[in-house]
Structure 1
Amino acid sequence: MKILVVGSGGREHAISRKLLESPKTEQVYVVPGNDGMVQKGIALQDIPETDHEAIIQFATEKAVDFAIVGPEVPLLNGLVDDLEAAGIPAFGPTKQAALIEGSKDFAKQFMKKYQIPTADSETFTDYEAAKAYLDEKKAPIVIKADGLAAGKGVTVAMTMEEATLALKEMMLEAKFGEASEKVVIEEFLAGEEFSLMAFVNGTEVYPMEVAQDHKRAYDGDKGPNTGGMGAYSPVPHLAKEVVDEAIEKILIPASSGLVSEGRSFRGILYAGLIHTEAGPKVIEFNARFGDPETQVVLPRLESDLVEIIWSLLHDQKPEVHFKQGGIELGVVLASAGYPDHYEKGAKLTGLEHISSDVNIYHAGTKLDSDGDFVSNGGRVLLIGLQAESMVAARQKIYQEMKKLENPAFFYRIDIGLKAE
């Protein structure tokens, strides 16, 4: 098969690599991709994710068997709808179904209607009304931009000063543009966070292994929210009963609810969850593979990813099995200053010294005129590896990360520490 992957990050690198493991795969095309993805069987085509017409033309010329749309922006722009209309099977939700990620307010109203456990919240378009609500509720509290903000539109405010600043930046200073014209203010939930992704086709749900992401920029879960600084899977200190409850009370009702709403979902439904004293609750839904969770979950998938997607595209039941035992750990190397201002073009040093049994997933890199990799984004790459225990995984991965040390970059040194 020839398969098209849309996207350019570490998630799409991981998806492309997994597709290549299948004996059914002849060629993977990635648009636009990044230079670090190129290997035998993976070819890039420099087409923007927003240019649906050019993507469709390319997919038609290459006679691809199906497409996978990785990032949230093209999903919400209706790329899956356009590909399907052009006769190209596409794995990912329609524009209507992807709204579960595209609007925090929609997701909140949806969860309320279908009794899916989540934090209490209110939505505002008026700053003064939002500020009055904030003054009433007090910190700790969570401020969220309604729309897409690349994983950065959420402030978990532990003080009123922090909450007031976040609200002001979003609503009065348009920090996230249109995404923060509407703001959701919700109660702070205490507990263990985890990510649960599933292959979904209508009311059929096939869960993956859980993962735990590290969203804050700095060690000890300090600093601003990012797109994710590292992850691991599975989460050994999370009881199986908690995961089962999340599947029964969250994933299944969500997929059924979307069908009831006329927004039937086919693709990857991602639930960002927190295990509270009252059980698991939803922090957010995403309409696609998580990043960096994909880089630690997909390597543990023992079933054929191509067969899974082909089955779902043809309304058949897929076989979904994951490796039992051991742990997959991933640590992100990020540009200094991320998620705020950072420079691009910093040379990556030490890549050639990384052990051959370690996975390198490129996210924000490109080749310069000398043929060397330089930074081209906030999250630059992720180093991932499997080990029998978290202690062994952490020891090995930080030996590897030291090889990449450079003042232009930084990484957290406590990824997975909770699971040791």
Structure 2
Amino acid sequence: MGIKVLIIGSGAREHAVAASLLRGPSVEEVTVAPGNLGMTRDGIRITRLSTANHSALIDFVKDNDYDWVFVGPEVPLIEGIVDDFRNAGIKAFGPSKAAAQIEGSKDFAKQLMLRHGIPTSAYATFDDLEPARQYVLDHGAPIVIKADGLAAGKGVTVAMDVDTALDALNDIFVDHRFGRAGAKVVIEDFLQGEEFSLMCFAHGTDFWPMPIAQDHKRAYDGDKGPNTGGMGAYSPVPQIGDDVVATAIDTIIRPVLQAMDEEGMPFTGVLYAGLIATEDGPKVIEFNARFGDPETEVVLPRLTSDLGKGFDDILNDRTPTFTWDADSATLGVILASDGYPTTPVAGAAIPAIATDDHTHVYYAGVKQRPVEQRSSTEGPAVDGFTVKVTPNQDPYRADQQEQAQVRPSRDDLVSASGRVMLVATTAPTIAEAYRRVYELLDGLDTTGMFYRHDIGAKALKAVDGLNGQDADTDTSH
């Protein structure tokens, strides 16, 4: 009998992990808690259990005989959900609460790197506005202002002038924009270079790197506008050489895992390193204690081995095997609600997109169309689901979902939050993946949503440069 897996989370990242697990032969069943309705378009089961209700999730795992749990988002990891699962005798793929501090506090991560000589930018930490303001005035710009805690990717300001830096400090300390996450501020020297994301599967001091990716944080074309959770990504990254990646593994990934092990908080799970290739070599911008989003959605389609078996091997202290398609590229673009990231407007109709081995759609902020807008042929709404339920059935229980038919029709989803979905294509080259994904997107009705039109443009210029072509090659579509 195959492996049964419960995934914790609700976004496009968790959708991509679920889809990848189901591609392999070892996993028989995947349920996502709480998931989202878009996942059910791929036949993925969901159950409406809150990620904050650890005891209910533990009971659910035991009642439904899941073999292990995969935890996607950072918040439950930092709240200690993996510790709670393990204390209940349940195997969980993810770091402990102690190890997850590497993402939960930027100051913690900086101190760890400082103690162990891991390359990163110079910094200072403050818990009060006035000394932070004086530090900015003394050091000038460009400078980077970061809320210490979790801020959904929006707590960083790369200030190219002093006024912008001071405004960012006011947002954090005066307006309390990030709540408790802004109780402290980390101020860093600005680093110049090409950014990239290096993720690895880790177990103690052992690790297995994934292909690198490049994220696009700014909301608008040309890297303009506010920071977001990410507007798209691609993998591989041709402008980052293999030698740079090898150096990053030797000077960053290996030492940080050894450091965490030595300090009594060994890391098991996915370690994400946000890096920048500077003239002095790769340096750390940030660490995350989980898969990146949207990097996951463009890296996992390139996996050629069985992800479920790899996770199962790690959880059972066996040596896993992970293999990747070196002759393919995946490029993904986020569709976001109008007004994102500051004031997203929900309710946009979600277009139906046909998927295949080369076209991937991963859903995030979606919900069911309001009842007054649905056709009369759809079933009743149950807490946001369209389901057909027989007496005594719970439509959220995984063992009853086949009967309950938690399957939205192809046209009954609307946007619910900021990042709505990611559309990706896999092709032999970045250029072909770029052409395909934008050809697809430009043919959709995306009223009420927007997307960047230049995801991967840097890679196309880098490839043209490597091929001796004009670096200003047209990347229009």
TM-score normalised by structure 2 residue count:
0.86
In structure 1, what residue type is equivalent to 2:33? V
Provide the secondary structure at the position in 1 that maps to 2:284.
strand
In structure 2, the partner of 1:385 is 425
Structure-2 separation of matches of 1:151 and 1:291: 10
Instruction: Give 1:139-218 correspondences, 5 Å limit.
Output: 139-218=141-220
In structure 2, the partner of 1:276 is 278
In structure 1, the partner of 2:450 is 410
Structure-1 separation of matches of 2:321 and 2:365: 33
In structure 1, the partner of 2:55 is 53
Structure-1 separation of matches of 2:311 and 2:234: 24
CA offset at residue 326 of structure 1? 2.4
Provide the secondary structure at the position in 2 that maps to 1:97.
coil
In structure 1, the partner of 2:13 is 11
Provide the secondary structure at the position in 2 that maps to 1:16.
helix
In structure 2, the partner of 1:337 is 339
Structure-2 separation of matches of 1:292 and 1:5: 17
In structure 2, what residue type is equivalent to 1:289? F
C-alpha change, 1:277 and 1:169, in structure 2 (3 Å) is same
Structure-1 separation of matches of 2:282 and 2:13: 26
Provide the secondary structure at the position in 2 that maps to 1:26.
strand
Structure-2 separation of matches of 1:222 and 1:405: 24
Instruction: Report the aligned-residue RMSD.
Output: 1.2
Matched, 1:257 2:259: yes
C-alpha change, 1:232 and 1:352, in structure 2 (3 Å) is closer
In structure 1, what residue type is equivalent to 2:451? Y
In structure 2, the partner of 1:351 is 352
CA offset at residue 342 of structure 1? 1.1
Between stretches 364-373 and 202-211, larger displacement belongs to 364-373
User: Pick from 134, 137, 160: which aligns with 2:136?
Assistant: 134
In structure 2, the partner of 1:72 is 74
Cα contact 2:353–2:361 (8 A) shared by 1: no
Matched, 1:289 2:329: no
Structure-2 separation of matches of 1:39 and 1:229: 23
Provide the secondary structure at the position in 2 that maps to 1:38.
helix
In structure 2, the partner of 1:21 is 23
In structure 2, the partner of 1:107 is 109
Superposed CA offset, 1:316-345 (max 9, x none): 211111101221100000011111011222
In structure 2, the partner of 1:243 is 245
In structure 1, what residue type is equivalent to 2:115? K
Instruction: Give 1:78-117 correspondences, 5 Å limit.
Output: 78-117=80-119
Superposed CA offset, 1:123-162 (max 9, x none): 0001000000000111100000000001111011111111
Runs of at least 5 residues in structure 1 that lack an aligned partner in the other structure: none
In structure 1, what residue type is equivalent to 2:455? I
In structure 1, what residue type is equivalent to 2:364? A
- Matched positions, count: 419
Structure-1 separation of matches of 2:344 and 2:326: 40
In structure 2, what residue type is equivalent to 1:360? V
Cα contact 2:332–2:422 (8 A) shared by 1: yes
In structure 2, what residue type is equivalent to 1:343? V
C-alpha change, 1:405 and 1:155, in structure 2 (3 Å) is farther
Structure-1 separation of matches of 2:436 and 2:8: 32
Instruction: Give 1:362-401 correspondences, 5 Å limit.
Output: 362-368=363-369, 369=371, 370=374, 371=409, 372-401=412-441
Cα contact 2:212–2:237 (8 A) shared by 1: yes
Cα contact 1:335–1:408 (8 A) shared by 2: yes
Structure (1 or 2) with the larger CA radius of gyration: 2
Runs of at least 5 residues in structure 2 that lack an aligned partner in the other structure: 375-408, 461-477
Superposed CA offset, 1:177-213 (max 9, x none): 0001100000000100000000000000110000000
Cα contact 1:121–1:186 (8 A) shared by 2: yes
Structure-1 separation of matches of 2:253 and 2:241: 17
Structure-1 separation of matches of 2:299 and 2:357: 20
Superposed CA offset, 1:365-388 (max 9, x none): 122232511001100000011112
In structure 1, what residue type is equivalent to 2:101? L
In structure 1, what residue type is equivalent to 2:446? N
TM-score normalised by structure 1 residue count:
0.98
Matched, 1:311 2:309: no
In structure 2, what residue type is equivalent to 1:190? Q
Structure-2 separation of matches of 1:271 and 1:341: 29
Provide the secondary structure at the position in 2 that maps to 1:406.
coil
Provide the secondary structure at the position in 2 that maps to 1:220.
coil
